[in-house]
Chain A
Amino acid sequence: MSNNQTVSFEHSIPDNLKGLVADWSSDVQTFRVRWSKAMMWIFLVSDTFIFGSFLCAYMAVRLTTIEPWPPTSEVFALHVGGADVPLLLIAIMTFILISSSGTMAMAVTSGYKKERKKTAFLILLTALGGLAFVGMQMFEWSKLIFEEGIRPWGNPFGAAQFGGFFFMITGFHGLHVSIGVVYLCIVAKRVWEGRYDRLNDYQMVEVAGLYWHFVDLVWIFIFAFFYLW
């Protein structure tokens, strides 16, 4: 019964502006989430500022170029069946990354249901999506470098700054995806071995999920601001 009493005590602080003030001023514990989750979120906020600064710098430079910005929908077009389909590869990459986010969300739910094998399988499927994404990005980069002649210091399509921002922003995002694939593989291994069953706690799957969804989130903004603007 003392369980229920504690629950009602915790919930006696309302979840509105009054509750916000009470939570912050309680001098005991501000965030009623686990440390693992809070710290992952705080890391993601700092990462938001890194990517945010990249995209702001990109905006500042793009506003100032006298030369026209390279037409992205033509630069990133893929030649399929005798016609150039604009941004086809990017559309497929977006599709794959969103799908991997979906499977990750399902992995988190399966984790909380303590379905060990299903969770491990879904995390591995997510990592596989990430691997496919990085592979396609490598294909995209080599096409741009070897066939189109795009360099960080110049390119044949327009403003010289295009290459620098493209390689830095997508490169940094690709690094995040690559690290995420390794991270997910480690978590999948631990799920498979039953570590979280022994702890009776699958929270680390949710924490890994937060990181993976963030990678998807960053891609949404790169897709919008770099490829489509």
Chain B
Amino acid sequence: MEEQKHFKHPSFYPGDAPETEHPFSLYISVWILLFVLSAFSYAVDLAEIQGYLRWFLVTVFAFLKAGLVVGVFMHMAWERMAFLYAIMLPPLFLLALVGILAVDGAFVYYIRDLFMPLVGE
């Protein structure tokens, strides 16, 4: 009977992440890592790195930070695969939007660059 009582309680899910096992030190190291990565992206601006290298570095640092926040702070690293994919795959559709808009944007710029000087301001 004791077990049944326990089972009525909704907080017990065997597949749930074992939250209590993460020590503060893990969060503090991730916290420091986030600071370091932010400092790196800030340094990219201070060093006045321009062009593709700037975009590449800024994007890489942003995604590394995002991975740390989602994986450790939001506990995604300890969730089951079924849940992980259900949450993490749909946002990838945004990449299609980025691709389409990048092609379209380049074309619009080309047209404007061609005709705006003729039309004038």
- A residues with a Cβ closer than 8 A to B are 1-3, 6-7, 10-11, 15-17, 19-20, 23-24, 30-34, 38, 41-42, 44-45, 48-49, 52-53, 56-57, 59-66, 73, 86-87, 91, 94-95, 98-99, 101-102, 104-106, 108-109, 112-113, 200-201, 203, 206, 209-210, 213-214, 216-217, 220-221, 223-225, 228-229
Q: Chain B residues with Cβ under 8 A from A16's Cβ?
A: 81
Contacts known (A98-B38, A229-B58); A200 close to B83, Cβ less than 8 A: no
CB distance A206 to B41 under 8 Å? no
Within 8 A of A (CB), among B1-59: 3, 6-7, 9-11, 13-16, 19-20, 22-24, 27-28, 30-31, 34-35, 38, 41-42, 44-46, 54-55, 58-59
Residues 60 to 84 of chain B near chain A (Cβ within 8 Å): 61-62, 65-66, 69-70, 72-75, 79-83
A105–B73 contact, CB under 8 A?
yes
B103 nearest CB neighbor, chain A only: A63
B41, closest chain A residue (CB): A228
A98 in contact with B35 given A38-B83, A59-B102 (CB within 8 Å): yes
Q: Within residues 74 to 110 of chain B, which ones have a CB less than 8 A from any CB in chain A?
A: 74-75, 79-83, 85-87, 90-91, 94, 97-98, 101-102, 104-106, 108-109
How many B residues touch A, CB cutoff 8 Å? 64
Is there an interface contact between A2 and B73, defined as CB atoms closer than 8 Å?
A: no
Which listed residue, B11, B35, B74, touches A213 by the CB 8 Å rule? B74
Cβ contact of B45, chosen from A87, A200, A225, cutoff 8 A:
A87
Cα–Cα, bound, A94→B34 (Å) = 10
Q: With A and B bound together, what is the CA distance between A200 and B5 in angstroms?
A: 13
Known: A49-B94, A229-B55. A32 touches B27 (CB 8 A): no
Q: B20–A113 contact, CB under 8 A?
A: yes
Q: Bound complex: CA of A86 vs CA of B42, how far in Å?
A: 9
Residue of A45, A61, A101 near B73 (CB, 8 A) is: A101
Who on chain B is nearest to A8 by CB?
B14
Whether the pair A108, B108 counts as a contact (CB closer than 8 A) is no
Q: List chain A residues, Cβ under 8 A from B98.
A: 56, 59
Bound CA–CA A62/B102 (angstroms): 10
Residues of chain B within 8 A of A112, CB atoms compared: 19-20
Min CB gap A173→B, angstroms: 15
B100 to chain A, nearest CB (A): 9
